[in-house]
Amino acid sequence: MKWNLEGLALLAASLTCAAPVHAQSATPAPGNETIDVAQLFATTCGWCHSDGGRAAGKGPQLMNTTRDDDYLRDRIKHGKSGAMPAFGETFSDAQIDQIIKYIRQLKPHEG
């Protein structure tokens, strides 16, 4: 094959495809794998959002939050200076969606 500009562009395109740039893609790209949010709260978020987000710690209770999805997404992505670390580098948008879904379905413990 003779290398020309078109070939290089194709090569570049196929290389970038390895990165999770296809938000619409049916198969989850690396970084879009499902995460265990309950586990995440047990390890990472639970320092400040106690009992899996059901109770306040250093941060507010997340269960029954009156904030909308955009607010929650923004807080998780960007954190708040001096209050909560930013997790935008840690999680993909799809994973943050999962976290929001988890928060929405939180219920008090049975019994």
Question: Which is closer to ligand HEC, CB of 62 or CB of 92?
Answer: 62
Strand partners for 55: 50
* Residue among 35, 48, 94, 106 that touches ligand HEC (CB under 6 A): 48
Sequential DSSP letters for 71-84: HHHHHHHH-BTTTB
**Cβ burial, residue 49 (10 Å; 0-12/13-18/19+):** buried
* Residue among 75, 92, 95, 98 that touches ligand HEC (CB under 6 A): 75
Binding residues for ligand HEC, per CB under 6 A?
40, 44-45, 47-49, 58-60, 62, 65, 67, 72, 75-76, 80, 83-85, 87, 99
